[in-house]
Amino acid sequence: MTELDTAYDLMAGGDEAAGLRFYRALADATLFIVLEREAEGEVIAPRVFDLESGPVILAFDSEERLAAFQDGPQPYAVLPGRVIAQ
């Protein structure tokens, strides 16, 4: 279980302060994003997954979780959560 897992579980209990702590932990976390193709310098193209509820970009809080999601090697970027949120 990661720090984000713990923060999420506490937030799921409905505590507003726990919610703020979760988003702070998310902003401070190092996240791994699935890419469409290899980065070109500092330019990345996140892979967009079209779901019924709308498009999403997946970010994982560990390299192990990213690897478990993918079928073999795939391009990815490592970014701080606060950069992704921007």
Residue 59: name the closest of 27, 16, 37 by CA: 27
Rounded-to-integer distance, Cα 75 and Cα 37, Å: 6
- pLDDT single digits (tens) 50-74: 999 999 999 999 999 999 998 888 9
* 85 pLDDT tier (thresholds 50, 70, 90): confident
Residues 24-38: what's their mean pLDDT? 95
Give pLDDT, residue 25.
Answer: 94
Side by side, the strands of the sheet bearing 76-80 are 59-60, 30-34, 76-80
In the predicted model, is pLDDT for residue 82 greater than 90? yes
Identity of the residue numbered 20: L
Cβ atoms of residues 31 and 25 within 8 Å: no
pTM value? 0.84
